[in-house]
Amino acid sequence: MKDRFSTYSQAELTRRNLLLGMSALAGTAAMGGFPGRAAAQDLPLVKAYGVPTAALKDWAPMEKSIGVRCELSGASNDVGVFMRDVMGANMGDTADIFIFESGTEDILGPQGLYATLDEAHPELTLWERTSDDWKRSAVVQDRDGKQWGVPVIGNADSFGYFPEKVGIAPDSTEELSWSLMFEDEATRGRVAYGNAYTYSMGPAALYLQGKGAAQFGNIADLTAEEAKLVADFLIERKKAGQFRTLYGAFEEQIQLLTNKEVDVINCWEPAVREANLVLGPDATRYAYTKEGYFKWGHGAYIAAQAVDRGNLDAIYKVLNYFLSGEYRALQARDRGYAGPNMDLGVEYAQSSGWTAEEIEALKATEAKVAKKFAKPYVSTTTPDNAGAMEEEWQRFMNA
Amino acid sequence: MQTSASAPADDRLLPRIGQWLSTTNLVVPAILVAWFAIVIVPIIILFVYSFFSTAQFRTVYEPSLDTWIGLFESGRWEVTLRTLRIAVTVTLIELVGAFPFALWLAKGGVSKGGRAVCLALLTIPFFLDMSSRTIVWRAILGQSGLVNTVLMGTGLTDAPVEWLLYSEVAVHFGMVVSLFPPMVLPIYMAINLIDDSLIEASKDLGASPWQTLRRVILPLSLPGVMAGVVFCLGPALAAWVEPGMLGGGFVNLISNSIESAYSALRYPVVAALSAFVILLLLVLLAAMYLIARRFGDPASSFRVLRG
């Protein structure tokens, strides 16, 4: 999700950490350079372009494990970026892999800008054991089921809430209904709702489908009629006073929770963590839901031009590394996001002597992700019906 | 040494350039051509773009009325009327508040020190980030904010006053606060330039204070008023921070609507919305010019600035 007032997107949330890491690296360099850096320069190089969340704080463990160097140039997650850079500026001439949020493969794959994934490539050793929830998701396949990439990271977004306000025990893992967001009398006038159609229209459709009020072909890509149905429902709820505010930024999510301005908010999971730092542990919780989640993920895709550049083995080694336990464990620990093969991450942590607390946190993430990812729906940044959805969303905004 | 040698040369050069410019009739056409190229041409392109459409995030360069029809069918055009209504209301509120303040500051016998303090207070906000200035109001106007705490603490209300935040009232309030300096400063400058002897003469000739205000000060301050209205109305039409932060998503203005269309790469919709606002603005400015003519000659009133 991208927002308007925020200085960073969800995908870039950890950029601050990345910068901190870079500062530390710069400091190390100033103190006398990096041991082994010279050796790393001799390793085969894979150039990546995309959202920087996929980057490790330090690529050294990867270089040590697979003997390949990765250089990632950061880009924003905006739909305009890949339209402009990948299509217009032929980024594939220089980049070997692209890492974007789900949706690019639907346009750039069929147009020949991505190479299809060779699932039988000898370097892709972890592909077979990767669960279908991840590898066959719409993040890395196009609408015809063609495989364009490997999953890198992801999460399932729901809503944050105050357990005491909605009458639920703070440590409960009960699955709640999105009705708390849209129709519950107890929360009427105490709900904050994200004001971007890409982020908020889907959960409303999910709720309508869950309660049997409507059936949708693809919640992530609503047709004009479906979008109208959702907008009509939202307009009715807006007029009934369900929403206290329609927010636009990540900072607002945190502020609305910490100020206790609302009881329920569809938001990013880190907002709940940030609010609890101020309000105390478990003051707010991130919901497990009955109907499903706004599931988002980043995939890594091979540039079509890279196929003939002679470093395909190195590219597949990097893609395979994204599926590995080492990458999973480091990403989960340093950035807090999940991904495929979380069990391998736990195994890696155990064999690498991580603390019991760190291992427990990884196990909890694994269990949480397994529970959430079994439910619909996978979001996309590029719905075919974006125009109709945006138009209907504006009708809701103007109502 | 070098400066003394070059100074006379500069003295001769500047008048010669001025003389050359006045004899050749190139300046005005040059400015007009440049203006046409950098302002008018983009607006024409914008207008042309509004007759294209979008499919799968790409602009379809085939002329059609689809975008304009969609704009009216979906009711999206209403956002332009709402924006205009709020912008004009804010501008009028500013004018009503700013004119007496500027008059007092310029001709109210305020000491030099007092005037300097007032002007500093008016200009300091320009140096602060708009979002930072606006977001603090949320902590003050929110349900558990300062105002509601005081209202409930003093027993004036039993429950928090909800419309203080996330409402049109809040958006108006935020815009009035942030756009006060652009309105008051040009009016202050214009009134400050009015020769005191003109006001004295009016008084000596038996005019009441109201007559002096209406027949002397108001016509002579028109350039400042016009500038203030333009400096206030323009940013108010493009307001983005205040509706976003204080409107709570319930006050959808043109900038919010354009931003939303832009997020789906619907450039023709962006172009149509912008073109529609430009058309409405032209109508509005024409009306304003006609009204201003009743009080004086807005075009020739810039002569006062020479004084």
* pLDDT score of A3 more than 70: no
Q: Among positive and negative, which fits the CA dihedral A7, A9, A15, A17?
A: positive
Cβ contacts below 8 Å, chain A against chain B, sum to: 93
Tell me, what DSSP letter sits at residue A106? H
Pick from B135, B265, B267 the residue to mutate for testing the A interface (most A CBs within 10 Å): B265
Q: Which two tokens stand for residue A210?
A: 């869950």
The answer to the question of residue B17 being in a domain is no
β-bridge partners, B95: none
Q: How far apart are CA B81 and CA B283, in angstroms?
A: 13
Q: How far apart are CA B224 and CA B191, in angstroms?
A: 8
Among left, alpha and beta (phi > 0; psi -120 to 50; other), residue B166 is left
Smallest CA–CA distance from B74 into chain A, residue: A395
User: Do A398 and B76 lie within an 8 Å CB cutoff?
Assistant: yes
Segment A97-122 shows an average pLDDT of 93
| Nearest residue, CB atoms, A246 vs list B74, B76, B248 | B248
Q: How far apart are CA A399 and CA B251, in angstroms?
A: 10
The per-residue b/e assignment along A247-257, b for 16 or more CB within 10 angstroms, e otherwise, is bbbbbbbbbbb
The pLDDT value recorded for residue B10 is 60
The pLDDT value recorded for residue B130 is 86
User: Do B76 and A390 lie within an 8 Å CB cutoff?
Assistant: no
β-bridge partners, A297: A154
| Nearest residue, CB atoms, B249 vs list A246, A260, A386 | A246
Closest CA to A396 of B68, B252, B264, B270: B252
The pLDDT value recorded for residue A109 is 93
Residue B93 vs residues A147, B103, B173, B214, B293: alpha-carbon distances, Å: 60, 16, 10, 19, 21
| Nearest residue, CB atoms, B57 vs list A79, A198, A244 | A79
User: Which amino acid belongs to residue B287?
Assistant: A
Closest CA to A91 of A100, A102, A103, A82: A82
The answer to the question of residue B12 being in a domain is no
pLDDT confidence tier of residue A1, bands split at 50, 70 and 90: very low
Q: How far apart are CA A341 and CA A357, in angstroms?
A: 20
Contacts of A391 in chain B (CB under 8 A): 70, 74, 76
Smallest CA–CA distance from B163 into chain A, residue: A244
Match domain A10-155+296-354 to its CATH number in 3.60.21.10, 3.40.50.1820, 3.90.226.10, 3.40.190.10.
Answer: 3.40.190.10
Domain hosting B193: range is 36-306
List, in order, residues 6 or more apart from B122 with CB less than 8 Å away.
Answer: B180, B181, B184, B185
Cis before A286? omega within 30: no
Low-confidence winner among A7-11, A386-390, B4-8 (lowest mean pLDDT): A7-11
User: Do B76 and A391 lie within an 8 Å CB cutoff?
Assistant: yes
User: Do B263 and A79 lie within an 8 Å CB cutoff?
Assistant: yes
List the CATH number of the domain containing B267: 1.10.3720.10
pLDDT confidence tier of residue A156, bands split at 50, 70 and 90: very high
The pLDDT value recorded for residue A18 is 39
User: Do B76 and A79 lie within an 8 Å CB cutoff?
Assistant: no
Tell me where in chain A the CATH 3.40.190.10 domain(s) lie: 10-155+296-354, 159-292+380-398
A329-384 residue pLDDT tens: 998 888 777 899 999 999 999 999 999 999 998 998 888 888 898 899 989 988 98
* pLDDT score of A240 more than 80: yes
Q: How many helices (H) and strands (E) does chain B have?
A: 15, 2
Contacts of A79 in chain B (CB under 8 A): 57, 263-265
Task: Write out chain B's pLDDT in tens, 307 residues.
Answer: 444 445 555 667 778 877 777 777 788 888 999 999 999 999 999 999 999 998 878 888 999 999 999 888 877 888 988 999 999 999 999 999 999 999 999 999 899 999 999 999 998 877 888 888 888 898 899 888 899 999 999 999 988 898 899 999 999 999 999 999 999 999 999 999 999 999 999 999 999 999 999 999 998 998 899 899 989 998 999 898 999 889 988 899 998 898 888 888 889 999 999 998 888 888 888 887 788 777 666 665 555 444 4
Give the max Cα distance, chain A. 66
Closest CA of chain B from A230, distance in Å = 15
Q: Which two tokens stand for residue A83?
A: 């339209």
Q: How far apart are CA A215 and CA A221, in angstroms?
A: 13
Q: Which two tokens stand for residue A357?
A: 């607390």
| Cβ of residue A110 closer than 8 Å to a chain B Cβ | no
Residue B205 vs residues A28, B160, B202, B213: alpha-carbon distances, Å: 83, 56, 5, 14
HSE toward the beta carbon, residue B110, CA cutoff 13 A: 18
The answer to the question of residue B128 being in a domain is yes
User: Do A107 and B57 lie within an 8 Å CB cutoff?
Assistant: yes
| Nearest residue, CB atoms, A394 vs list B142, B143, B260 | B260
- Average per-residue pLDDT in chain A? 87
The pLDDT value recorded for residue A114 is 95
**B-contacting residues of A 327-356, CB under 8 Å?**
none
* pLDDT score of A254 more than 70: yes
HSE toward the beta carbon, residue A37, CA cutoff 13 A: 8
Q: How far apart are CA B218 and CA B301, in angstroms?
A: 11
Closest CA of chain B from A5, distance in Å = 8
Q: What residues of chain B have any CB closer than 8 angstroms to a CB in chain A?
A: 54-58, 70, 74-76, 78-79, 82, 131, 138-139, 142-144, 162, 166, 241, 244-245, 248-250, 252, 256-257, 259-261, 263-266
The pLDDT value recorded for residue A24 is 43
The answer to the question of residue B83 being in a domain is yes
A334-346 residue pLDDT tens: 877 789 999 999 9
Residue A332 vs residues A328, A344, A362: alpha-carbon distances, Å: 6, 12, 7
ipTM over 0.85: no
Cβ proximity of A204 and A229 under 8 Å = no
| Cβ of residue A316 closer than 8 Å to a chain B Cβ | no
The pLDDT value recorded for residue B113 is 94
**How many domains are contained in chain B?**
1
Smallest CA–CA distance from A393 into chain B, residue: B260
Residue B6 vs residues A134, B15, B16: alpha-carbon distances, Å: 76, 15, 15
Architecture of domain A159-292+380-398: 3-Layer(aba) Sandwich (3.40)
Q: How far apart are CA A262 and CA A249, in angstroms?
A: 15
Segment A165-170 shows an average pLDDT of 88
The pLDDT value recorded for residue A10 is 53
Alpha helices in B162-304 (DSSP H): 168-192, 196-204, 209-212, 218-237, 241-246, 254-263, 267-295
Contacts of A246 in chain B (CB under 8 A): 248-250
Closest CA of chain B from A196, distance in Å = 8
Smallest CA–CA distance from B132 into chain A, residue: A5
Cβ proximity of A96 and A288 under 8 Å = no
Q: Which residue bears the tokens 């004119």?
A: B99
β-bridge partners, A303: A114
